[in-house]
């Protein structure tokens, strides 16, 4: 018995798969080095993660002072 499965992808799924290559192509055409864009994206991501963690620690410390 042969069954074929067809997966219907939504427009959002297709766009999500196409976004990284399209971004790299656009950056290359615009003259921006992709490696520099990756460095900046990593820096922004790291700063956001550190800020989020510091905020969580602050909330934990503040919550323990008031609760105990």
DSSP codes, the chain: ------PPPPHHHHHHHHHHHHHHHHHHHHT--HHHHHHHHHHHHHHHHHHHHHHHHHHHHHHHHHH-
* Cα–Cα distance list, 26 to 2, 20, 32, 64 (Å): 43, 10, 9, 49
- Asked if residue 54 is part of any domain, the answer here is yes
- Give the pLDDT score at 46: 97
Average pLDDT over residues 3-15: 69
- Asked if residue 6 is part of any domain, the answer here is no
- Asked if residue 38 is part of any domain, the answer here is yes
- Give the pLDDT score at 1: 47
- Asked if residue 59 is part of any domain, the answer here is yes
Q: Which domain holds residue 18?
A: 11-67
- Asked if residue 18 is part of any domain, the answer here is yes
- Asked if residue 2 is part of any domain, the answer here is no
- Give the pLDDT score at 2: 47
Number of domains in the chain: 1
What would the pLDDT profile of 18-66 be if each residue is shown by its tens digit?
888 888 888 888 888 888 888 999 999 999 999 999 999 999 999 876 5
Q: What is the pTM (predicted TM-score) of this model?
A: 0.57
- Give the pLDDT score at 14: 85
């Amino acid at each position: 018995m042969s069954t074929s499965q067809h997966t219907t992808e939504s427009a959002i799924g297709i766009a999500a798969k196409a976004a990284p290559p399209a971004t790299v192509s656009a950056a290359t055409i615009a003259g921006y080095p992709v490696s520099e864009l990756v460095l900046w994206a990593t820096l922004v991501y790291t700063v956001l993660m550190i800020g989020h963690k510091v905020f969580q620690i602050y909330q934990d410390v503040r919550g323990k002072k008031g609760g105990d």
